[in-house]
Structure 1
């Protein structure tokens, strides 16, 4: 009809003009409409892909069983949201590999851009009887880097030092300040071997682990060991009996107590104290159980519960072991607490020396042995870096350090500063004497409200921080070998990750620029260290 009207000589010109205008507008709109439709379709496809990746990432990181994507209730729920779940195989292969590589690259780039790093490692045997060594790097936040299956390699100091050095070379050896491991001789010897090669490295043993060894030493005392064994057997007997456990639970509710009996565990440090405390808290409920007319416990259990000497020994054991457990809880974890190690050890020693004379369950020989254990473990744990960190804690400024300890701290600071190409002795003297900037009262008042790292960052001039992100090892052969080894390791890990996820069972499971103070960089690298 439009074509007829356009060609008909009887059709008014005004009508023909309107038809032409409409055709022009339609010809202009059609391509745009098509483009918009295509863009919308592309955007929608991309959004769906991104959503699936985010879903897979959340699933993998939280450890959610992959069987979730196959459960009818979850499938039905996401269908109502118009979202199709990725299948289990694609999550365990395509998405897992992609997410792993992205996160690994992000962590690696972040560590390579850091100025100071600290390496932590720990080894054990897993449930499959395979030797595993885990490596973490603190910047100062701890980041998991590598899990090494040692296969048939013996955990000798030479092997451990070689594997540790490989990890350090991956991010630049010159950036590393501290190596932290447990107290095993092979681990500490491997650290010394690395220090001989790289003198700026500071080897440390784990402070919390050392305190746990002290706890083990104390429990070795014959009187303490015998009583701990008695208390453990008693708790086991109560827990093994369904009737006694149920009746004890009922009595606890009547007495408004929610604390159940706890057993100690070798892998949970300080758990002996938790077990003894659980007995102490449940004393009234347990004694009520002992005289219950409806259910009489065995004579051994009844006599133990009604014996005041038993409860007195619980009190004494707690008074000896609790200060050690408190020191473990204070030092373990991811907090920046290296500056607290010195005073924690000092206070622990003072508390135990004060308590021991009041413990009647120990004879004089056992007390002297425990004092020897305390001296040995504290000496084993304290290092010059702890003195230096305590000196850089603005709340204390090293006030409790003796002359020898202060000298060792300043020597360490000088050596680290020399390694970092920083001249800090003049500023350190002003800090100790509270001169210059440090003569201002507001600087010390601020220290009362913030942690040491934040306090030092307040005075940190970014220009004084040496850029160490490019300080990588320059040996081409070494870098090539490391790259080849990394590729092989990545291929092995890729295959392993796929096998693990495929075999999983569906079980629920600001710096403010002020004065030019160079030695704050040393304090930064000290506080970056995690005492664990």
Structure 2
């Protein structure tokens, strides 16, 4: 078929004439036999087709793409007696549709190959036959660039409107592996700000300090109240120099990172390591022997519990973080009855060493006590990583953590020297995680008023933070401390019971801003209580950045832009201009009438 005729079929609709297969022109309704040459000759002479093909340019100077569409029951017809609607999309509408589609793809983390899928193509053709969706290449290049620039402008606008922000950064611990550092600006919503790709020679505290200073100056030093980092060794120097350069900014460590180190220290104790080895040997032995694995599965299925409806599956500590060891311990404890029955079964070939372990009550007692101790710490890590975790909760969490760890150690597998090592690690963890700003947040959170458990030294350090910030905000120090005294004593504004019950329904920073804005202490309290306790937002973005780069084979720059758009679109409120029509309603009516006449 000649090249000129290759697209002729779209201008005709299949029809039946005199019992024979025919085609009908979509413009003049004349019928012909199915012959490409005759069909092309007809199009060359068809006056109605000539009018459509020579359609005048659109309002933006672009030619409109027109495609004839059969008027099924769900499509409007050109006129009451007509059979076809001529659908068209000008360049302006095409560009706007591409922008909206790209934004939806990015916001939902949908694959960029979505528009190449035949089912999506059919869906788009039903919605708007003349619309041609963007290619994967367009979604990952020019459309992504435009959306990234637009979203970043919104990020800077949101930062500009905020009266208190925190710089959160993470990735220093992984720099030698990935060379990637993620920076988030919490407003308090954790907005992705930038991602730095470093080189081997830049792995130093000097590079990190300069990066943080640059970001602080870009954001505006006057509204930055804290910097949060992970627990990399370089951080101690970074904290000192940031606080020297900006005296009102407090540098603190990620609470989740500190508690994770405590968890790792406990697992590294010889007694716990030995217990983990024995537990792993049991799991591997049962999983690797087909008969044992099948027997365990069957027995667990017949002994289902309400909390394990599908039975227990023995797990090896393959996952990262704290959950791997806990999953293994938990699977053994849930399958303890079946495992012990297998150990005494004369028909099952269980190795003597594994049989001895399964019949050892000390092993199971140690497994239970270690599981409870490690679960307590692991649960604290997860609690601190939650999006609703607050800075004031760190002090209360450590108070409870210290109490429960002390009670758990006495019945654990740890020897006396190991117990002392764990308590030393706990002290080190608390020193890293709890700073004067945490004490100030605890004292200013209305949920903890009357439950003060701080030492005199911590209370004095909290007063220093409040005084320092009052100077930074040009507030009268005496009035601020007087306001704090009335708050602590529940006098003046805080005398009634209603205002205290309200703090259970809103965040502490909103409570201070909304109900206590007339008090001199309000600006300081709301700023402190907006500071997040961890670098969890960075960790989540860093993981997404790595997976995006691997799954899509993106460059670092492409991956950064995609992650930034995906993350920030779901945090920023859509502006009215995102949904603004391309033209007024009256213009649309006139345009529609002109297209259908």
Map of 1:518 onto structure 2: 520
Report the Cα offset of residue 418 of structure 1: 1.2
Deviation track 1:63-112 (CA, whole Å, cap 9, x = no partner) reads 33333322333323332332432222222222111111111111122112
Higher normalized helix content (fraction of residues): 1
Map of 1:108 onto structure 2: 156
Residue 123 of structure 1 contacts residue 134 of structure 1 at CA under 8 Å; is this kept in 2?
yes
Deviation track 1:386-423 (CA, whole Å, cap 9, x = no partner) reads 11111111121262223222111111111112111123
1-structure distance, mates of 2:357, 2:443: 50
Map of 2:457 onto structure 1: 404
Q: Taking structure 1 as reference, are residues 381 and 459 closer, same or farther at Cα in structure 2, changes over 3 Å only? A: same
Map of 2:68 onto structure 1: none
Moved more, 336-345 or 260-269: 260-269
Pick from 217, 236, 259 the counterpart of residue 211 of structure 1.
259
Residue 281 of structure 2 contacts residue 354 of structure 2 at CA under 8 Å; is this kept in 1?
no
2-structure distance, mates of 1:96, 1:448: 42
2-structure distance, mates of 1:279, 1:122: 35
Pick from 109, 124, 129 the counterpart of residue 78 of structure 1.
124
Establish whether residue 387 from structure 1 lines up as the match of residue 389 from structure 2: no
Establish whether residue 365 from structure 1 lines up as the match of residue 413 from structure 2: no
Report the Cα offset of residue 183 of structure 1: 1.9
Q: Taking structure 1 as reference, are residues 390 and 142 closer, same or farther at Cα in structure 2, changes over 3 Å only? A: same
2-structure distance, mates of 1:177, 1:265: 39
Establish whether residue 286 from structure 1 lines up as the match of residue 336 from structure 2: no
Establish whether residue 64 from structure 1 lines up as the match of residue 110 from structure 2: yes
Pick from 186, 196, 200 the counterpart of residue 138 of structure 1.
186
Deviation track 1:473-509 (CA, whole Å, cap 9, x = no partner) reads xxxxxxxxxxxxxxxxxxxxxxxxxxxxxxxxxxxxx
Pick from 221, 224, 244 the counterpart of residue 269 of structure 2.
221
2-structure distance, mates of 1:247, 1:528: 54
Q: Taking structure 1 as reference, are residues 269 and 78 closer, same or farther at Cα in structure 2, changes over 3 Å only? A: same
Deviation track 1:495-526 (CA, whole Å, cap 9, x = no partner) reads xxxxxxxxxxxxxxxxxxxxx21211111111
Q: State TM-score, norm by structure 1.
A: 0.77
SS in 1 for 2:392: helix
Q: Taking structure 1 as reference, are residues 318 and 336 closer, same or farther at Cα in structure 2, changes over 3 Å only? A: closer
* Unaligned ranges ≥5, structure 2: 1-54, 66-87, 535-597
Report the Cα offset of residue 151 of structure 1: 1.6
Map of 2:221 onto structure 1: 173
Q: Relative CO higher for 1 or 2, CA cutoff 8 Å, sep ≥ 6? A: 1
Report the Cα offset of residue 260 of structure 1: 2.9
Report the Cα offset of residue 295 of structure 1: 5.0
Establish whether residue 432 from structure 1 lines up as the match of residue 485 from structure 2: no
1-structure distance, mates of 2:176, 2:400: 41
Report the Cα offset of residue 180 of structure 1: 0.8
Report the Cα offset of residue 124 of structure 1: 5.3
1-structure distance, mates of 2:175, 2:108: 22
Map of 2:77 onto structure 1: none
Q: Taking structure 1 as reference, are residues 399 and 124 closer, same or farther at Cα in structure 2, changes over 3 Å only? A: closer
Residue 336 of structure 1 contacts residue 529 of structure 1 at CA under 8 Å; is this kept in 2?
no
Deviation track 1:35-85 (CA, whole Å, cap 9, x = no partner) reads 9x979x799534443232222222234333333322333323332332432
Report the Cα offset of residue 127 of structure 1: 11
Residue 384 of structure 1 contacts residue 405 of structure 1 at CA under 8 Å; is this kept in 2?
yes
Establish whether residue 343 from structure 1 lines up as the match of residue 396 from structure 2: yes
Pick from 219, 223, 243 the counterpart of residue 195 of structure 1.
243
SS in 2 for 1:204: strand
Residue 273 of structure 1 contacts residue 322 of structure 1 at CA under 8 Å; is this kept in 2?
yes
Establish whether residue 459 from structure 1 lines up as the match of residue 511 from structure 2: no
Q: Taking structure 1 as reference, are residues 263 and 413 closer, same or farther at Cα in structure 2, changes over 3 Å only? A: farther
**1:244-263 mapped onto 2 (5 Å cutoff):** 244-256=292-304, 257=308, 258=310, 259-263=312-316
SS in 2 for 1:66: coil
SS in 1 for 2:188: coil
SS in 2 for 1:268: coil
2-structure distance, mates of 1:419, 1:460: 20
Report the Cα offset of residue 438 of structure 1: 1.1
**1:2-17 mapped onto 2 (5 Å cutoff):** none
Q: Taking structure 1 as reference, are residues 453 and 269 closer, same or farther at Cα in structure 2, changes over 3 Å only? A: farther
Map of 1:304 onto structure 2: 357
1-structure distance, mates of 2:352, 2:254: 45
Map of 1:159 onto structure 2: 207
1-structure distance, mates of 2:138, 2:365: 62
Pick from 472, 477, 492 the counterpart of residue 419 of structure 1.
472
Moved more, 44-53 or 188-197: 44-53
Q: Taking structure 1 as reference, are residues 164 and 235 closer, same or farther at Cα in structure 2, changes over 3 Å only? A: farther
Q: State TM-score, norm by structure 2.
A: 0.69
Map of 2:383 onto structure 1: 330
Map of 1:473 onto structure 2: none
2-structure distance, mates of 1:63, 1:126: 25
2-structure distance, mates of 1:234, 1:215: 23
